[in-house]
Structure 1
Amino acid sequence: MMTEDNSKSETVQLHPVGETSLEESSKDWSNESYDPHDHRHLPNPTNNWETLVHLLKCSLGTGILAMPQAFARAGLVTGILATIIVGALVTHCLRVLVRSQYAACKRLRVPLLTYPESMAAALEGGPPLLRRFAGSLAITVDVFLVVYQLGICCVYIVFIAANIKEIVNPYYEMPVEVHMLIILGPLIAFNLIPTLKMLAPFSALANVLTFVGLAIVIYYLVSGKKSDAPLDLWGSPTTFPLFFGTILFALTAVGVVIALENNMATPKAFVAPFGVLNGGMTIIVLLYVAVGALGYVFCVSECRDSVTLDLPKGPLATSVLAMFSIAIFISYGLHCFVPVEVVWRGYLLPRLSRSGAPPARLRIAQYALRVSLCLLTFILAVAVPQLGLFISLFGALCLSALGICFPVIMEICVSFPDKFGPFRLRLYKDVLLFVVGVIGLVAGTYSALDAIVRTFFRDNPAPLHA
């Protein structure tokens, strides 16, 4: 989930990266006279424990609830092993991203940089062939961040509507699209809240509901009656890309990680060997393996898009559906805040300000943007009301780039020309990771789009196992 710190960190413009000359870009990245951490004067920095809690909270949402279905696509043994491997890969790439941002801040002598600014700064100091792409790749990062966050909002609309439908079905059955239409008005109203400070109390409520609901889900998976269907241990290569997209969506909280490190009182503890990132990701991966394996054993090939929909009927299970629906409704406003801020502060506000627009017109324009983005996510959710396919698509498309490809490109640039280590191992490692990211992006995106086409345009629902 998105935190208040994350939204701020993605929108504050701290340095005009594009104005840096190529001559300055080629300076030594290891300038020891400036440490960005010493110049971060934060009004309310978080300690290590608070940062760990935020990291755990941000990773326990719709992604973890989709893990049983992901295991149904990968097989039990493959799912366990692949989740651990992908978790280690994601953790390493997040460390690479944080270290590369630190190097970019060091060269530009600024305490903080956003992800797009860091990408531009890294490329401007990298190989001459890449320097010309500094501006375009920075914009590309913005595009992927906006698409990813709007994708999360689409997933949330589908999730909320599906859970509400499950609650009211015993009394009155309606298509899931009707439930989406019913919640559209409240979502728009909630998305018009102008500041994250006003959303903070709602975010605290969402945290409590999420943890209580997850505890009840695990209780059901452990104590409930298991399916008698045979388990698939190894899965199929044709459905594995969908698993890869889902696990990337679930584990890769790129913007959150950047924000958490940027707002720590002791940022060096974030990427220490036994620091916040490694410790938090270890706990997260273990939880994902547990929920995925237990959920798959519980429902086998009948796993639905969210494990909450597989729980047996009863008041306690209904309360879980209600708790997660409320928590994800609140989280929608937090996640939609990010693309609003990126588009508004990065693109629309500068143009309107240059045209001399009065404050009243600026307010109207910002509210229009909020409503437009909310309507866009609603239309996409109605068009593809399949939570699992949404998660796989946006995980493969956006997070393969944001969480793997872009960080290693940045590391190559900040290590250029002579900091690749013995035998240039870092360069070969980064090239290998880039290839893995591209393969995951292409294969995962193709598989998700193919499943969407087969499900909705050929009247042939996509199977879990080919």
Structure 2
Amino acid sequence: MVEMTDNMTRNYNNYTSTSKLEQASKQQTLAMDGYDNQGMLRSELNINGNATNVGNTCINMDSLNSKCGVVGTKSDNAGQLNEKQHFYDPYQHREVKHPTSYFDTLIHFLKASLGTGILAMPSAFKNAGYIVGTLGTIAIGILCTYTIHLLVTASYELCVKRKIPSLTYPGTVAAAFEDGPRPVRKFAPFAKMMTNLFLVLYQIGSSCIYVVFIASNLKAIGDTYLNNDTDVRMYMVYILIPLILISWIRNLKLLAPFSSIATCMTMVSFTLIFYYIFREAPSFESREPVGTIKSIPLFFGTVLFAMEAIGMVLPLENEMKNPKRFGSMFGVLNSSMIPISLLYTLVGILGYLKYGEHVKGSITLDLPHDEVLAQVVKLLLSLSIYICYALSNYVAFDILWKGFEHKMEKNEHKICWEYALRTSIVITTFFFAIAIPNLEHLISLIGAFCLSSVGIAFPAIVSFLTFNEVYKNAGNFRYSLFCLRNLVIVIIAIFAFIIGVFTSVSDIIHHMK
């Protein structure tokens, strides 16, 4: 798998320094504000009023002292000023060729979250029941948001320690193990390899689902007009070339206008879907409030896949013009996840109440086949997911390309190899989609297998390793709560992985017989 290299971070050697006086003033501001937008780090502060050094972690106290009215001695103030002057804020050292704005990043994040998963929510509620489904979706939404915050906060702190501008997700995991307790440091390469593996599998799995979704909806339209029952796999063959072409877009910034268009198409489509749902009022009659023990794990895997966008988090945050606005209170993450959670719950419960036990893997497939308006919905969402396919492949390509990019530096055919890799990813997703063309089972399997680990367990482990020494010095009670928090999250992830994968695989095998 990919080795630990300097390519995992953006090291900018051509950073231009300001004068000493300007630098001191700038760093003073950064030292006071750097942690304000990383809300979780505020809980790590020592209330004695002095700059605290725990292991490699440097925590500056001036912001807290000024709010609490703490006045230090001249020597204390001199020491604190020295800490400010040496404080490294990664955000101020990033040089991104094509930085994205708050709005651009918000659109990308919404598109990464509002994919095919939301259209499978009625199917998820069928497996869980409308009461368990509602409570479970809200709980999973909170859990996903919290673990993303854990990851972003830990990544920022590790960048501060190492004085580097940014880290990728695998780089963050490796750095957390390398800087963690001595017994786990030797596992850093393995941890990085596993993170890369699960991320690539998740992104490729997501792309497989997109292929199945597009083909299934085009088949529903085609069968109506052609009066035949063409195999869905043939439609996968038809869309292969267009998928390859859109995957060749190399710049994330260039995808922003397409993402905006796709988001508009998605909103129009959902408006029409709600029209069909309410055209005849949904009913609670013969609808189950609680699903069976066997089917609830399928619900967890589907919702986790639908709501989790962990693979896009750090790439999007690293590309922002003002990355502090990603994880702040009203930043991209919170501004996205709250409406996403509510929308997923609404679509899930209303879709299930409308179509009941007959609901399919995508609610679009339950719409009338012979109505033009329903066909417009399927076509618009197919185009939207087609654009989302490029975003999904972006992360998979980025991880794989970093593995051998340094070997291609002097290769005059480097660009050809890059396009070859992008094409190979598309072809891989195509063959996996051919193998498992059932949308409902594929979504649940990818969610349980990949996202229970990379979306839930890994962020908790990274947070524990990064802030372990800080909490040890915060007292036994706080350290116990810190350990318990991360342990509970990891246990939930392990349970979801085992039960979810087993149930999904069993259903796939049963469906193939």
Q: Which of 7, 13, 17 is matched with 2:9 structurally? A: 13
Query: What amino acid maps onto 1:14 in structure 2?
Result: R
What RMSD over aligned residues (CA atoms) do the two structures have, in Å?
2.3
What corresponds to 1:411 in structure 2? 463
Relative distance call for 1:385 and 1:112 in structure 2 (3 A) is same
Cα distance in 1 between the residues matched to 2:250 and 2:214: 23
Which of 44-53 and 160-169 deviates more?
44-53
Q: Which runs of 5+ in 1 are unaligned?
A: 1-10, 17-25, 460-466
Q: Which runs of 5+ in 2 are unaligned?
A: 1-6, 13-53, 61-86
1:270 and 1:277 in contact (8 A); partners too: yes
2:99 and 2:253 in contact (8 A); partners too: no
What corresponds to 2:147 in structure 1? 93
User: Could you list the per-position Cα deviations for residues 123-182 of structure 1 after superposition, in whole angstroms to 9, with x for gaps in the alignment?
Assistant: 111111211111111121111111111111100110011000110112222111111112
Query: Percent of aligned positions with the same letter in both sequences?
Result: 39
Cα distance in 2 between the residues matched to 1:262 and 1:247: 26
3-state SS of the aligned residue for 1:30? strand
The alpha-carbon deviation at position 417 of structure 1 amounts to 2.4
Cα distance in 1 between the residues matched to 2:187 and 2:422: 31
Matched, 1:64 2:110: no
Q: Which of 370, 374, 378 is matched with 1:321 structurally? A: 378
What corresponds to 1:219 in structure 2? 275
3-state SS of the aligned residue for 1:417? helix
Cα distance in 1 between the residues matched to 2:152 and 2:466: 12
What corresponds to 2:58 in structure 1? 30
User: Could you list the per-position Cα deviations for residues 244-294 of structure 1 after superposition, in whole angstroms to 9, with x for gaps in the alignment?
Assistant: 111111111113222343344544443334544233211110000000000
Query: What amino acid maps onto 2:166 in structure 1?
Result: L
> Residues 451-462 of structure 1 correspond to what in structure 2 (within 5 A)?
451-456=507-512, 459=513
3-state SS of the aligned residue for 1:113? coil
Matched, 1:375 2:427: yes
The alpha-carbon deviation at position 347 of structure 1 amounts to 1.8
Query: What amino acid maps onto 1:380 in structure 2?
Result: F
What corresponds to 2:404 in structure 1? 348
3-state SS of the aligned residue for 2:10? coil
Cα distance in 2 between the residues matched to 1:55 and 1:370: 22
The alpha-carbon deviation at position 88 of structure 1 amounts to 0.9
Q: Which of 74, 99, 106 is matched with 2:160 structurally? A: 106
Query: What amino acid maps onto 1:189 in structure 2?
Result: L
> Residues 394-433 of structure 1 correspond to what in structure 2 (within 5 A)?
394-419=446-471, 421-422=474-475, 423=477, 424=479, 425-433=481-489
Relative distance call for 1:126 and 1:447 in structure 2 (3 A) is same
Relative distance call for 1:272 and 1:347 in structure 2 (3 A) is closer
Q: Which has the larger radius of gyration?
A: 2
Matched, 1:338 2:338: no
> Residues 44-63 of structure 1 correspond to what in structure 2 (within 5 A)?
45=99, 48=102, 51-63=105-117
User: Could you list the per-position Cα deviations for residues 350-398 of structure 1 after superposition, in whole angstroms to 9, with x for gaps in the alignment?
Assistant: 3345xx6x313x3333333223222211111111101111111111111
Matched, 1:300 2:352: no
User: Could you list the per-position Cα deviations for residues 202-234 of structure 1 after superposition, in whole angstroms to 9, with x for gaps in the alignment?
Assistant: 333322212211221122222335478600101
1:123 and 1:413 in contact (8 A); partners too: yes
Matched, 1:167 2:224: no
3-state SS of the aligned residue for 1:232? coil
Which of 38-47 and 91-100 deviates more?
38-47
The alpha-carbon deviation at position 333 of structure 1 amounts to 2.5
Relative distance call for 1:47 and 1:334 in structure 2 (3 A) is closer
2:111 and 2:259 in contact (8 A); partners too: no
3-state SS of the aligned residue for 1:170? helix
What corresponds to 1:141 in structure 2? 195
Query: What amino acid maps onto 2:387 in structure 1?
Result: I
1:116 and 1:141 in contact (8 A); partners too: yes
Query: What amino acid maps onto 2:146 in structure 1?
Result: H
3-state SS of the aligned residue for 1:110? coil
What corresponds to 2:500 in structure 1? 444
Which of 111-120 and 149-158 deviates more?
111-120
Relative distance call for 1:280 and 1:195 in structure 2 (3 A) is closer
Matched, 1:237 2:237: no
Matched, 1:365 2:393: no
What corresponds to 2:22 in structure 1? none
Higher relative contact order (CA 8 A, sep 6+): 1
Matched, 1:129 2:183: yes
Matched, 1:393 2:450: no
1:116 and 1:138 in contact (8 A); partners too: yes
3-state SS of the aligned residue for 2:471? coil
User: Could you list the per-position Cα deviations for residues 13-41 of structure 1 after superposition, in whole angstroms to 9, with x for gaps in the alignment?
Assistant: 3259xxxxxxxxx9422354222233345
Cα distance in 2 between the residues matched to 1:394 and 1:96: 22
Which of 76-85 and 227-236 deviates more?
227-236
Relative distance call for 1:336 and 1:43 in structure 2 (3 A) is closer
Cα distance in 2 between the residues matched to 1:398 and 1:182: 29
Cα distance in 2 between the residues matched to 1:332 and 1:260: 16
1:155 and 1:391 in contact (8 A); partners too: yes
Cα distance in 1 between the residues matched to 2:122 and 2:283: 13
1:65 and 1:307 in contact (8 A); partners too: yes
What corresponds to 1:8 in structure 2? none
3-state SS of the aligned residue for 2:509? helix
Query: What amino acid maps onto 1:29 in structure 2?
Result: T
2:98 and 2:253 in contact (8 A); partners too: no
3-state SS of the aligned residue for 1:132? helix
Cα distance in 2 between the residues matched to 1:227 and 1:78: 17
Relative distance call for 1:453 and 1:260 in structure 2 (3 A) is same
Cα distance in 1 between the residues matched to 2:438 and 2:342: 26
Cα distance in 2 between the residues matched to 1:206 and 1:53: 10
> Residues 237-316 of structure 1 correspond to what in structure 2 (within 5 A)?
237-313=293-369, 314-316=371-373
The alpha-carbon deviation at position 407 of structure 1 amounts to 0.6
User: Could you list the per-position Cα deviations for residues 304-323 of structure 1 after superposition, in whole angstroms to 9, with x for gaps in the alignment?
Assistant: 01111111241111100000
